[in-house]
A and B are shown apart, each in its own frame.
Chain A
Amino acid sequence: MTKKLLITVLILGAILRLSWLGTIPSGFFRDEAAIGYNAYSIFKTGADEFGMRLPLVFRSFEVFFLPAYLYISAPIVGLLGLSEFSTRLISTLSGIAAIYIVYLIAKNIWDKKAGIFAAFVLAISPWHIFYSRGTFEGNLGLTLFTAGFYFWIRFLQKLNTKHFLFSGILFALSMYSYQAERVVVPLFIISALIVSFNNFWKIKTKLILPIIILFILMIPLLSLTFKPGGYHRAVGVSIFSQITNPPGWISDISPGVLINNKTYLRVREVSSLYLSYFSPRNLFNFGDYNRQRSVENSSVFYSFMIIGLVFGIWKIIKKGTVNTKLLMLWLVFAPVPAALTGDPFHTYRALLVFIPFSILIGYGFSRLSYQKIFLGVSLISLSIFVFNYFFVTQVTRAHDWDWGYKEMSSFINTLPKDQKIVINDLSTESYIHYLFFNKVEPTIYQKEVASLGNVSDYYYSDPSEIRPTKIDSLEFRKVDWPTERGNTKTVFVMWGDTLPDSEYENDPKVRLLKKISYPDGSDAFKIVEII
């Protein structure tokens, strides 16, 4: 019976994650395009868009993506072809795998019933469906961490060094997937070692070889830690590198002990950011503050799930075990990286915290009566979410997902090859969409990059913006329309709200070639030609 239920849950999870994967979410975010194209470039040339052979991080528009997702995606993108579907597939498969691993964790900590409930909660949770349907390297990191946790608790149960090695490898791979894991994994391992010190001490000699293997695995990442390519992203978003004053600062008053005390105010700020990841309002009602990372009218979890969470935590308080302590340690450390950045409730950076929440919610509901009511409410909530995600959000949030570049790139392909085209690149990242959707041969772009200098001289050490502004006859830069509108025989691609209709309606020398609209009818791009 449990097996049938588990298969049903997995099928449900797979359907929610795989359906229309190539087209929903509408649009294709720039980070997705960067990951997909660089994976494609690795498959074809063994080098990234800059021509750097097998890099440790991918510096695409100075984000310095960690490598695991891209290297795992490379053969898939190569075999299936460069597309939204193939680029997102690893994240989706990670999400489906996570459902099964969560079942195993809850089953090991409590019983099969808790396992089924936890898996079901994860399968239908808005946050997990959302992050399993986009190219999110953090989702891969999350699944690897979750699997590492599973083998850790298996190791503690059986003191089998193979489990220890698997756990270590999975934790290490998670650190190669996303930045947050580079902070959480060491914190978790150190505290887990303290909690289960006696177990480790019993078999200390058997652990020497696995530890050496794991250390060797970590060397490349450790070497990167002290280069700008390895820490630029983390430092850039940290609250300690911000020049603004902390909240509670009163302007025009000198600092003192009992007023404008920066140390105290920073402690409060970090505390507020940290606790926001445990706030019921954020978890069950408001969700992520960013439009691109949220679903219309939905939050991280369904609101009724607070009942399961409260009950699950209550049960653990009354009767905890070593495994529940480890789960709580995971919960406590998971928001730390996100809390050290200034953004309020950034779900992506705190992705690790939502798995233990999901497990606790599932456990809580598995111990409550009236489980048919739980199932009924779950299905109603899921249907509302499906409508909001598959219909409402695809209309209202298309802009936030860089919708329109596919259509724009296709249209550019219909123009003569030698046509001078200038793309008004306000975000400085339009080029990656063009490369992706036109499947530009990586060697072509690598040649353009090579003209900027020797890539190994700056790749890991210089985090400033370094990229070409031209690909063949296409230019990617800011357009000064009043000055450039007289440049004849030039096609300009302008973002919809930057070029009023009157510019081409009232001027015979400016011809509208194509208008690309968002799903809600507003203008995405206007492509005009100066005659």
Chain B
Amino acid sequence: MRKYFPILAILIISSIMRFWNLGNIPLGLSLDEIELSLLLPTPFLIRLPFALMGILSIYLFYRLVRKVFNDDKIALISTLILGVIPWHVTESRIMSWGIILLLIGEILALFLFRFVNKKNNIYLGIILLLVCVIVPVSGLAIKVNDERLVVVNNSPKVLSRIFINKLTENFRLREETLFTNLDFGNYFFAGHPRERGGIEETQKLLLFTLPFIVLGLFKLGKDKSQFLFSWIIISLFVLTFFNLQGSQTLILIFPFVVLAAIGIVNAQRILVILVLIFGIFESLYFYNLYFSGLTESQFSPRRPVYIELSAKIKDIKREGEHVLVNDRIGNSKEFLSFYLKKNIEEFDFRIFDYHKESETGKLFVDVFPDDPISNEPLYTKDGAWPDNLTILSVLYDVGKRQKVVIYRTK
């Protein structure tokens, strides 16, 4: 029984980090999570299955690493890292395809271990990767034609056809996905210094693991490297084929964490102590921000503004009053339906200009971007709100960089 204490302790610590305040951190739900609310009515229950899958993936990870490396120390250290590293913690606290993929990968690796742990898998993975990079996908015609138009007057037509076509464009797209998943900035620095527009950049690994990962690479034995490289190549194939980026790449956490553990085991004690002290500081720094709700990026899919907005509407709306919601806020029907528990019979969701609304006696829920152009309905030269409106509430929507305004017309 005593031999199970370490793994039990790790699972308990991991569980606390995943279940504590699960419904509210991160604040707000994403559209994908809202769609799950058909089955599960509260944010906590929506996220619970993924937190449970996260705990299960930690346990399976432990089993897998023990099987591959035949070393309890490495298994425990790597499992502990997995349990507390931001990437896995944050993914376990939201609806995450990354957690599902990781779990599938671990289950397959455990059950098919004899077949996975072969050198041929590396070659198979490379071939699959090459195939998916070369085989064209649909929907490239427009981009190809635009690019060709730019150069065709300045180069022989034959050359432009040879070098700008669906094949080359497909290659470039796949190549971009593949190499984006090989960028250090994604894993250690939340995308910095080359953040990607439209992608939610999150803190995945902490900087203190980097020297151990590098050392782990040096100390990795040839027999163990086969499994690790197989995992990496096949994961990259899956991610490239399905064009998965950002948090969906969680399956790649396996080699990082294992190498870090190998590095810790093989490093000099004094170095381990010094780096771990820094690591504890880094962890405290990150989790202080995370559990205070301060780590959401500009492109986060979560919309916490709807929590406050639905509460304000409940307070302000009169009995029988119609509410007109400007759908420019973004997926307003889905979110308000969830937070108002489907009491939206008196709600109308569309894009509107209040100047053109003929009916009176409505409650308006509108939007005003941070960089408005002069033909925005709520725009005024002096920056104040229009005189003919009674402004009842103004909320700031950080993610979309806009104000959400509740008002009635005078």
A residues lining the B interface (CB < 8 Å): 247-248, 250, 253, 258-259, 261, 264, 268-269, 271-273, 275-276, 278-282, 284-286, 289, 297, 303, 317, 344-345, 383-384, 387-388, 391-392, 394-396, 519-521
Known: A271-B207, A395-B151. Is A282-B194 also a contact (CB below 8 A)?
yes
Residues of A near B282 (CB, < 8 A) are: 264
Contact B155 A279 (CB under 8 A): no
B289 at interface (Cβ–Cβ under 8 A)?
Answer: yes
**Are the C-beta atoms of A344 and B193 separated by less than 8 Å?**
yes
| A520 shortest CB reach to chain B, Å | 6
Contact across chains for B184 and A276 when beta carbons are under 8 A apart: yes
Given contacts A281-B183, A395-B150, whether A384 and B189 have CB atoms under 8 Å apart is: no
Q: Which residue from chain A places its CB closest to the CB of B189 in the assembled complex?
A: A272
Give A286 Cβ to nearest chain B Cβ, in Å: 7
Q: Are B194 and A396 in contact (CB under 8 A)?
A: no
A258 touching B193 in the complex, CB below 8 Å, given contacts A285-B175, A317-B218:
no
Q: B180 interface residue, CB < 8 Å from A?
A: yes
Contact across chains for A285 and B179 when beta carbons are under 8 A apart? yes
> Does B159 sit within 8 A of A, measured CB to CB?
yes
Interface contact B183-A391, CB-CB below 8 Å: no
Asked, given contacts A282-B183, A387-B155, A520-B150, whether A345 binds B193 with beta carbons under 8 Å apart, the answer is: yes
The residue from B176, B192, B285, B289 contacting A269, defined by CB atoms under 8 A apart = B192
Task: Report B142-184 residues with CB < 8 Å from chain A CB.
Answer: 147, 150-151, 153-155, 159-160, 162-163, 168, 172, 175-176, 178-180, 182-184
Q: Which residues of B contact A253 (CB under 8 A)?
A: 294
Q: Is B266 an interface residue (CB 8 A)?
A: no
CB distance from B332 to the nearest CB of A (A): 27
Contacts A279-B183, A317-B218, A395-B151 known; list 19 others, CB within 8 Å. A247-B193, A258-B289, A264-B281, A268-B189, A275-B189, A276-B185, A276-B193, A278-B184, A282-B183, A282-B194, A285-B180, A289-B194, A344-B193, A383-B163, A384-B163, A384-B168, A391-B151, A391-B154, A392-B151
Beta-carbon contact of A275 and B288 below 8 Å: no
Most buried by A among B281, B282, B285, B289: B285
Most chain A CB within 10 A, of B180, B185, B284, is at B185
User: Complex: how many Å from CA A259 to CA B295?
Assistant: 11
Q: Which 4 A-B pairs have the closest CB atoms?
A: A344-B193, A285-B179, A281-B183, A272-B189
Residue ID in chain B nearest A281 by CB atoms: B183
**B residues within 8 A CB of A286?**
176, 179, 194
CB distance from B102 to the nearest CB of A (A): 22
B188 within 8 Å of A (CB atoms): yes
* B163 adjacent to A281 (CB under 8 Å): no
Please, which residues of chain A bring their CB within 8 A of the CB of B193?
Answer: 247, 269, 272-273, 276, 344-345
Chain B residue, CB-CB nearest to A261: B285
Q: How far apart are the CA atoms of A93 and B360 in the complex, in Å?
A: 78
Provide the bound-state CA to CA distance between A394 and B155, in Å. 10
Q: How many A-B residue pairs have CB under 8 A?
A: 106
Residues of B near any A CB (own CB < 8 A) = 147, 150-151, 153-155, 159-160, 162-163, 168, 172, 175-176, 178-180, 182-185, 188-190, 192-194, 207, 217-218, 281-282, 284-285, 288-289, 292, 294
Chain A residues with Cβ under 8 A from B184's Cβ? Answer: 272, 275-276, 278-279
Is there an interface contact between B188 and A272, defined as CB atoms closer than 8 Å?
Answer: yes
Give the distance in Å from the alpha carbon of A446 to the alpha carbon of B186 in the complex: 52
With both beta carbons as reference points, the residue of chain A lying nearest to B177 in the complex is identified as: A285
A258-B285, A272-B193, A279-B184 known; A395 and B154 CB under 8 Å? yes
How many whole Å from B173's CB to the nearest CB in chain A?
11
Please tell me if the beta carbons of A250 and B294 are within 8 angstroms of each other in the complex. yes
A271 and B184 CA atoms in complex are apart in Å by 11
Q: Which residues of A contact B183 (CB under 8 A)?
A: 279-282
**Chain B: CB-nearest residue to A384:** B163
* Across-interface contacts of A520 in B (CB, < 8 A): 150
Given contacts A261-B285, A271-B207, A279-B184, contact A284 B163 (CB under 8 A): no
A selection of 12 A-B contacts at a CB cut-off of 8 Å is A258-B285, A258-B289, A278-B184, A281-B179, A281-B182, A286-B194, A344-B192, A383-B163, A387-B163, A391-B151, A391-B160, A392-B151
Assembly CA distance A345 to B143 (angstroms): 27
Distance (Å) between the CB of A81 and the closest chain B CB?
28
Contact A268 B194 (CB under 8 A): no
Q: Please, which residue of chain A has its CB at the minimum distance from the CB of B156?
A: A391
Rounded to whole angstroms, the CA-CA distance of A388 and B159 in the bound complex is: 10
* A285 neighbours in B (Cβ, 8 Å): 175-176, 178-180
Chain B residues whose C-beta falls within 8 Å of the C-beta of A344 in the assembled complex: 192-194
Give CA–CA (A281, B178) in the complex, Å.
8
Complex contacts, A247 vs chain B, CB 8 Å: 189, 192-193
Task: Give the distance to chain B from A398, nearest Cβ to Cβ, in Å.
Answer: 10
Q: Nearest Cβ in chain B — how far from A24, in angstroms?
A: 12
In the complex, the chain B residue whose C-beta lies closest to that of A303 is B175
Nearest residue (CB) in A for B148 is A392
The answer to whether B182 and A275 have CB atoms under 8 Å apart is: no
Q: Given A275, A284, A396, which contacts B150 in the complex, CB threshold below 8 Å?
A: A396
Q: What residues on A are CB-neighbors of B285 within 8 Å?
A: 258-259, 261, 264
Contact of B289 among A259, A273, A275 (CB under 8 A): A259
Tell whether A272 pairs with B192 under 8 Å between CB atoms, given A285-B175, A395-B154: yes
A390 to chain B: closest CB distance in Å? 8
Closest partner residue, chain B, to A398 (CB atom): B154
Is A271 within 8 A of B154, CB to CB?
no
Q: How far is the CA of A393 from the CA of B19 in the complex (A)?
A: 53
Assuming the contacts A268-B207, A281-B179, A345-B194, asked whether A275 and B188 have C-beta atoms less than 8 A apart, the reply is yes
Which residues in B have their C-beta under 8 angstroms from that of A278? 184
Q: Once the chains bind, are A303 and B179 in contact (CB under 8 Å)? A: yes
Nearest opposing residue in chain B for A283, CB measure: B179
Cβ contacts under 8 Å, A281 to chain B: 179-180, 182-183, 185, 194
Contact with A387, one of B159, B185, B192, B294 (Cβ below 8 angstroms): B159
| Contacting residue for B189 out of A261, A271, A289, A391, CB 8 A | A271
